[in-house]
């Protein structure tokens, strides 16, 4: 791709399961994130398949580019709180855009202790989304 990047590899081991984090930093690293993180998700998927095939062991490799995951998580938490306020004010359910399982989990966890709203996932496959409802 003609991109100059730095790579930092962090290994974590917990109860016999190893997880690796690849932190990528560089001027053109945004190309690896893609639109809504789609390129990053695909890169992570391919990396996991390649590592599992090469080692013969199912492994988990996470890839983060320039702190994208932390920024995305914070953005989702902010979205969840804004929508929860709107749901509380209007008394109506609000259905969010389709999200992958990790992103839906962030929304559910952000509002788990909220006293005025409840969350649930609806839909199936790539169209699965979070619905935030008043209690």
* pLDDT tens-place string over residues 44-81: 999 999 988 998 887 788 899 988 988 999 999 999 99
CA gap 124, 135 in Å, rounded? 24
- Alpha-carbon distance 116 to 135, whole Å? 5
Both tokens of 32, joined, read 């690896």
Note the pLDDT of residue 121.
96
What mean pLDDT value characterizes the chain? Answer: 89
pTM value is: 0.77
Residue 15: Cβ-neighbour burial (10 angstroms; 0-12, 13-18, 19+): exposed
The CA distance from 118 to 113, in Å, is: 9
What pLDDT is attached to residue 2?
Answer: 72
Mean pLDDT value across residues 14-32: 80
Q: Residues of CATH 3.30.300.20 domain(s) within the chain?
A: 6-66
Fold of 6-66: GMP Synthetase; Chain A, domain 3 (3.30.300)
**What's the CATH code, domain 70-134?**
3.30.1370.50
Is residue 17 over pLDDT 80?
Answer: no
């Amino acid at each position: 791709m003609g991109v100059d990047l730095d790579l930092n590899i962090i290994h974590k081991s917990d109860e016999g399961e190893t997880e690796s984090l690849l932190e990528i930093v560089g001027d053109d690293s945004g190309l690896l994130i893609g639109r809504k993180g789609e390129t990053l998700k695909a890169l992570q998927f391919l990396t996991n398949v390649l590592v599992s095939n090469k080692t013969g062991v199912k492994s988990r490799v996470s890839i983060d580019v320039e702190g994208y995951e932390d920024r995305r998580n914070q953005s989702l938490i902010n979205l969840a709180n804004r929508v929860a306020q709107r749901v509380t004010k209007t008394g109506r359910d609000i259905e969010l855009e389709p999200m992958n399982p990790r992103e839906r989990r962030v929304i559910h966890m952000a509002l788990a202790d909220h006293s005025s709203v409840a969350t649930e996932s609806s839909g199936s496959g790539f169209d699965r989304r979070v619905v935030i409802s008043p209690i």
